[in-house]
Structure 1
Amino acid sequence: MHLHWLKPLLGRPAPFVTVHLDASPAEVAGESGPMDRWRSVRRDLERDGAPAAVLDQVAEVLGRPDGCRDAHGRVVVADAEGVLVDRVLRVAPPASRGVYGPVPALSPVVRAAEESVQVLVVAVDRSGAELRWLDVDAAVGPVRSTETVEGGHDDVHKVRESGIERRGQTRAEDSWQRNAEAVAAAVDRRVTQTAPGLVVLTGDVRTVPLVRDALDQHTRRLVVEVAGGGRGEGIQAGAFAARLAEAVDALRARRRAAQVERYREARGRGEGAVTGIDDVVEVLRRGQVDQLVVSVDALDAGLAERTLWVGPEPLQLATSRADLTTIGVVDGECRELPADVALVRAVLGQDAGITFLGDGDVELVDGVGAVLRWADGSTPSESVPTQSADTRRLRSGA
């Protein structure tokens, strides 16, 4: 998962307010709800010096319903000019918290981005289709925009009249095919222009396979068929939304599994991947990283509690001030950041991606590893650790 849309955060003026909120609704009367949790976070931010005007803008955004009825989280980032990011998280954080500082607390924002999927729903019938663009985070969100595609061939009904029945059937089937080809051409164009993560085909059961077969190879790789949707009246929206959510979850699982397999293969070859904070910092500094892989447990605990040293540029990164000055950063420009923020900042700085892994997916020293774009003789390389201390670190992910 790549993070191009987050790069503008790097150029925004400090300071930032980042709120990571348990936005789950109250389950029983009298229980604290999202806005009660926000008020507690706000008090902490006020004590840290966050401006009231910025906090008022955050409160306004958080006060808008997010449409999720189940347990979930929400992350908001703001600078002095207003709210920059508002994302829903499928999983609520262990505790709601706010951070006021010189850089945004990027890890919850990145986790939200990893869960987000851009979806193009193509609801077809025999005369054309409706194209709907959705942003899917914790739940299937509202339709962002729509487009109607009409095939142009209106002889779409089979006739049942003596003597001309077969001819009418042939004309109707020919119209279905031509209309399906027109829809497929429009979908191919929009996929090229908007690059969705998933294309969902739904609607008339005879037309869906015609459209699918007419799509080009690139678009077809993104397609899943989900029953129950359509253009007309009488569609069971709730049932279709549930099936769509399952399709999005399956996509998330597939892309995470693909990155896990890339990492395992590279480690198995003994090249093309590293693990451990020291080696990961080294390859990030050299611009070698294609995909950072991070244990969710380490992100929530060890990495957030550890610090790294950074300079003015995202790839100026080190585990100590002394190491940072050796790469040319003058002492007055050195500063400490939480390790999770510094790592994500460096990932953004080299247009790399990031994947969060669950417990048991792979073994990661310090809870972090990287798949590399390239390697040479000076690239860090290690065999699987065999010392007892390293084995303990692998098992704990810390």
Structure 2
Amino acid sequence: MQLSLLQPITDRPGPWASVYADVSHTTEDAAKQRELSANDMASRLTALGADRATRDAVHEALADGPGRGEPGARAGRALFATDGEVVLDAPLPGPPAAPFATWSPVARVAPLVEATGGRSPCLVAFVDRTGADFILRDDTGGDQPAGGVEGETWPVHRTATADWSERHFQTRVENTWERNAGEIARAAQEAYENSGAAVLLLAGDPRERRSVYDKLPKPLRSVTYESEHGGRAAGADSVRLERDIAQVRAVHERERTAEVMGRFHAGEGPRTDGGGTPYAASGVPALVEAAREHRIDTLLIAPHAADANREVWVGPRADQVASRSSEVPYLGEVRPASGRADDALLRAAAASGAETVVVRDPEDAPAGGLGAILRWNH
């Protein structure tokens, strides 16, 4: 998971109001329920010591925000606010098990990452012989249009006769299909790179999608799948396509996690290049040191990690993090604040352009539930 979503949070010093709310639209009085939820979260923030402007900004966002989804839909939202402004309002895949609010020096982002970090964004290409439409499927709520491409529209239909001139015409038709497949492949590559997707799914005309697949660059083919369901035409088989999208995202995430954990466990052991320091780290002190030095390439986090709530000390900047309060003044902050290890490490990782992987198998997770693959050793 790329942590660019958290970038607005890393640029602000806080303190932060972090709210995880249930915004399910399951009753006819949804607007009234939103108001009650907004009042509840505002009261919690007041009790925690949040300033009035920030509390009111959260209340307004929850009370007046859109009721996401159709009636009957269950949904959640994560809001992060500071200095009287909601800086990030992110949809959740579902309502939180227990809605809550916090007021802390570092935004409470770990539950958001854990809720959304195990689901790879998927670019879906609906292909036919004249072009393609692209959508991005992720956990931000609904499908996001991701562009499209139109190829040549004539000739695209073959005839059924065997006359020489007709065979010549059919060759022209197939050449049009091939040229259009090349255009679709180039457009799909561009849409994939611009969308932040982790996987590409081709749906639609069987012959054309196979031709498109063959024309994709090899690295993109390695994360591209095909679906026999769905297409550009209205009324295409969307139910089974939904299943295929979910399956592709899950398969890719499992493979990605296995690959990353293989690198992590290999990096923990003795170096094979003559160096003495491993390219992987676990344990809060080692991770904090790596975060300060911008050495984290991939942060590993297990849900309910034992080390997640370990106390660390932070300053307003993302790289001002230490295991002991006495260390922070050396980083330029004379009045450090106490924070959670998982949130502080995620803030630092996001600020340095790192990514994160949520490790859901406890047996494969790093000791303590937190670890990292490093960009370089000392």
| 1:244-265 deviation per Cα after TM superposition (whole angstroms, max 9, x unaligned) | 1222222222222222111112
Return closer, same or farther for 1:264/1:194 CA change in 2, 3 Å cut-off. Answer: same
Return closer, same or farther for 1:153/1:214 CA change in 2, 3 Å cut-off. Answer: farther
Partner residue of 2:342 out of 340, 349, 352: 340
Q: Return the structure number with greater relative CO, CA threshold 8 A, min gap 6.
A: 2
User: 1:185-196 to 2 correspondence within 5 Å?
Assistant: 185-196=186-197
Partner of residue 47, structure 1: 47
Query: Are residues 1:309 and 2:313 paired?
Result: yes
State the shift of 1:74 in Å.
Answer: 3.0
Query: Are residues 1:275 and 2:277 paired?
Result: no
In 1, Cα distance between equivalents of 2:51 and 2:118: 29
Partner residue of 2:328 out of 317, 320, 324: 324
In 2, Cα distance between equivalents of 1:340 and 1:180: 46
User: 1:14-163 to 2 correspondence within 5 Å?
Assistant: 14-23=14-23, 39-48=39-48, 49-51=50-52, 52-60=55-63, 63-66=66-69, 73-80=76-83, 82-90=85-93, 92-112=95-115, 114-115=117-118, 117-130=120-133, 132-137=134-139, 141-163=141-163
The residue matched to 1:6 in structure 2 has which SS?
helix
| 1:115-138 deviation per Cα after TM superposition (whole angstroms, max 9, x unaligned) | 4644322111112222x2324117
Pairs aligned (count): 367
Stretch moving more, 352-361 or 34-43:
34-43
Stretch moving more, 160-169 or 336-345:
160-169
The residue matched to 1:200 in structure 2 has which SS?
strand
In 2, Cα distance between equivalents of 1:363 and 1:14: 31
TM, length-normalised to structure 2: 0.84
CA RMSD in angstroms, aligned pairs only: 3.2
In 1, Cα distance between equivalents of 2:81 and 2:63: 12
Query: Are residues 1:206 and 2:211 paired?
Result: no
Work out whether residues 115 and 137 of structure 1, in 8 Å CA contact, stay in contact via their aligned partners in 2.
no
Work out whether residues 105 and 339 of structure 2, in 8 Å CA contact, stay in contact via their aligned partners in 1.
no
State the shift of 1:70 in Å.
Answer: 7.1
| 1:195-224 deviation per Cα after TM superposition (whole angstroms, max 9, x unaligned) | 432222110011111111112223323322
Query: Are residues 1:184 and 2:185 paired?
Result: yes
| 1:45-88 deviation per Cα after TM superposition (whole angstroms, max 9, x unaligned) | 23234535313323136552246967664312233454332333
State the shift of 1:308 in Å.
Answer: 0.8
User: 1:342-361 to 2 correspondence within 5 Å?
Assistant: 342-361=344-363
In 1, Cα distance between equivalents of 2:244 and 2:56: 42
Work out whether residues 116 and 135 of structure 1, in 8 Å CA contact, stay in contact via their aligned partners in 2.
no
User: 1:229-268 to 2 correspondence within 5 Å?
Assistant: 229-268=230-269
Partner of residue 370, structure 2: 368
Return closer, same or farther for 1:175/1:149 CA change in 2, 3 Å cut-off. Answer: same
Partner of residue 9, structure 1: 9
State the shift of 1:35 in Å.
Answer: 6.9
Return closer, same or farther for 1:363/1:211 CA change in 2, 3 Å cut-off. Answer: closer
State the shift of 1:317 in Å.
Answer: 1.9
In 2, Cα distance between equivalents of 1:153 and 1:65: 39
State the shift of 1:364 in Å.
Answer: 2.9
Work out whether residues 153 and 178 of structure 1, in 8 Å CA contact, stay in contact via their aligned partners in 2.
no
Unaligned runs of 5+ in 1: 377-398
In 2, Cα distance between equivalents of 1:209 and 1:185: 14
Query: Are residues 1:289 and 2:296 paired?
Result: yes
Work out whether residues 297 and 358 of structure 1, in 8 Å CA contact, stay in contact via their aligned partners in 2.
no
Return closer, same or farther for 1:351/1:129 CA change in 2, 3 Å cut-off. Answer: closer
| 1:227-251 deviation per Cα after TM superposition (whole angstroms, max 9, x unaligned) | 2121113312233223212222222
Return closer, same or farther for 1:81/1:216 CA change in 2, 3 Å cut-off. Answer: farther
In 2, Cα distance between equivalents of 1:20 and 1:195: 25
| 1:91-115 deviation per Cα after TM superposition (whole angstroms, max 9, x unaligned) | 6544210113443212123335524
Return closer, same or farther for 1:162/1:7 CA change in 2, 3 Å cut-off. Answer: closer
Return closer, same or farther for 1:66/1:259 CA change in 2, 3 Å cut-off. Answer: farther
In 2, Cα distance between equivalents of 1:12 and 1:56: 20
Partner of residue 274, structure 2: none
In 2, Cα distance between equivalents of 1:155 and 1:221: 32
State the shift of 1:144 in Å.
Answer: 2.3
Stretch moving more, 223-232 or 141-150:
141-150
Return closer, same or farther for 1:18/1:239 CA change in 2, 3 Å cut-off. Answer: same
Work out whether residues 201 and 225 of structure 1, in 8 Å CA contact, stay in contact via their aligned partners in 2.
yes
Return closer, same or farther for 1:24/1:220 CA change in 2, 3 Å cut-off. Answer: same
Unaligned runs of 5+ in 2: 272-277
Partner of residue 382, structure 1: none
In 2, Cα distance between equivalents of 1:317 and 1:111: 21
